[in-house]
Amino acid sequence: MRSPQRGCRAGEAVRVTVRLFARLRDIAGRAELTREMPDGATAGEVWKSLVEQFPAMAGYDSSISTAVNADYAKMSTVLSDNDEVAFLPPVSGGQAPGPTGPRLRRT
């Protein structure tokens, strides 16, 4: 279970940073966005808000990986204020990740 929201009271919004990679970054036209979400929002709700704004992302619903604060996470993960949520589409081929690529830890 996650600890209570840092700096938020019940019913307030939480602000999260959204990081997008590969094709998702191309669709949004930027690698990082900020979202204000209702207290208790999940990574999946952030994803839904992105799909509403960028409908071309809908095709990735069943294939993206999600991370919260650099740890792989489920879409049902409840977010806290100032969390970072990353969405990574599947990739194939290409070169090995370099120093600017995502650094994620499996839990």
pLDDT digits (tens, 9 = 90+) for 52-85: 999 999 999 999 999 999 999 999 999 999 999 9
pLDDT at 105: 62
Confidence of residue 12 (pLDDT cuts 50, 70, 90): confident
96 — phi, psi (to 5°)? Answer: -60, 150
The hierarchical CATH code for the domain 13-88 is 3.10.20.30
Average pLDDT, the chain: 85
Taking phi over 0 as left and psi of -120 to 50 as alpha, with beta for the rest, 37 belongs to beta
Query: Helix, strand or coil for residue 66?
Result: strand
Domain extent listing, the chain: 13-88
Report the C-alpha gap between 30 and 19 in whole angstroms.
9
- Between the alpha carbon of residue 101 and those of residues 11, 14, 20, 31, 88, the distances in Å are 35, 26, 11, 12, 11
